[in-house]
């Protein structure tokens, strides 16, 4: 009985619909009543029902099509939203002091993998930055980044003082891109940087970033053993 949204609120309608789905009053794959009917039944405005069902559709529980009506998803695809913070804040949120060392910075042609990931034409040179992030003086994560030098302000930025990770978040407002997570065996080089055993299993995030179709950066973050990316569903 606590935190119960008022009837007529879109949250209440959403929860009501959720109850119908969970209780199998509306079976998977089955069509549910249209917005106007539900609104009339519940005594609220159609736009309220629309808001509620739209949220459930965004969560993957309903499938909606004009004229086709709304159906309960037969095989709902779970969507897990992970928050990817700035590394420094991630470290601090885990209760450590953060540190940072720039290891290398040079202009050169990126490897094939990066060039394809950013959809660049052959011959383009990018700034290659390598850096180590520390948590309480201990290696936390290796940042291996390729940055488009044409990015406004990038060539003037001091990446020895501020990580490219943080500089980008602060200075390149919003971006499209792709992200991938995988596991990788520590090479001798990574093991030395991260202070872990050669061959250890490392968690890796790879991200490609554009702003309005302009390639900005490609980065691989390799975390020291034990790192976990967590999310509430």
Partner DNA sequence: AAGTGGTCTAGACCACAAA
Partner DNA sequence: TTGTGGTCTAGACCACTTG
For the beta sheet containing 69-72, the strands, ordered from the edge strand earlier in sequence to the opposite edge, are 31-32, 69-72, 62-65
Residues comprising the chain, all counted? 233
| C-beta of residue 202 within 8 angstroms of C-beta of residue 190 | yes
Q: Of these partners, DNA, a copy of itself, none, which one is at the site of residue 66 (CB under 5 to 8 Å by kind)?
A: DNA
What CA–CA distance (Å, rounded) separates 24 from 125? 57
Interacting residue with DNA among 15, 55, 59, 64 (CB under 7 A): 64
Closest distance to DNA from the beta carbon of 41 (Å): 12
CA-CA distances (angstroms) from residue 64 to 75, 164, 230? Answer: 14, 41, 30
The residue from 5, 85, 111, 195 that contacts a copy of itself (CB under 8 A) is 85
Residue 78 near a copy of itself by CB under 8 A: yes
Contact with DNA (CB under 7 A) among 16, 55, 57, 175:
57
24 touches a copy of itself (CB under 8 A): yes
Size of the site for a copy of itself (CB under 8 A): 57
- Per CB under 7 A, 20 contacts DNA: no
**CA atoms 185, 230, 114, 189: torsion sign:** negative
**Residues making contact with DNA (CB under 7 A):** 8-12, 34-36, 43-48, 50-51, 53-54, 57, 64-70
């Amino acid at each position: 009985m606590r935190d119960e949204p008022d009837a007529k609120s879109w949250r209440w309608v959403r929860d009501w619909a959720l109850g119908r789905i969970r209780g199998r009053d509306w079976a998977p794959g089955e069509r549910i009543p249209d917005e106007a009917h539900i609104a009339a039944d519940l005594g609220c405005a159609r736009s309220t029902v629309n808001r509620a069902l739209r949220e459930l559709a965004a969560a993957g529980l309903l499938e909606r099509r004009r004229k086709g009506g709304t159906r309960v998803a037969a095989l709902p695809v779970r969507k897990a939203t992970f928050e990817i913070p700035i590394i420094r804040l991630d470290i601090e949120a885990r209760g450590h002091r953060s540190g940072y060392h720039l290891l290398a910075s040079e202009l050169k042609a990126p490897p094939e993998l990066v060039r394809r990931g950013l959809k660049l034409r052959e011959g383009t040179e990018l700034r290659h930055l390598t850096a180590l992030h520390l948590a309480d003086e201990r290696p936390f994560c290796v940042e291996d980044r390729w940055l488009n030098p044409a990015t406004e302000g990038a060539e003037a930025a001091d990446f020895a003082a501020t990580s490219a990770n943080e500089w980008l978040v602060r200075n390149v407002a919003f971006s499209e891109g792709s992200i991938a997570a995988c596991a990788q065996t520590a090479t001798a080089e990574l093991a030395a940087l991260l202070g872990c055993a050669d061959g250890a299993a490392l968690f890796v995030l790879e991200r490609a970033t554009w702003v309005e179709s302009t390639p900005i950066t490609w980065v691989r973050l390799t975390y020291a053993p034990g790192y976990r990316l967590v999310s509430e569903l």
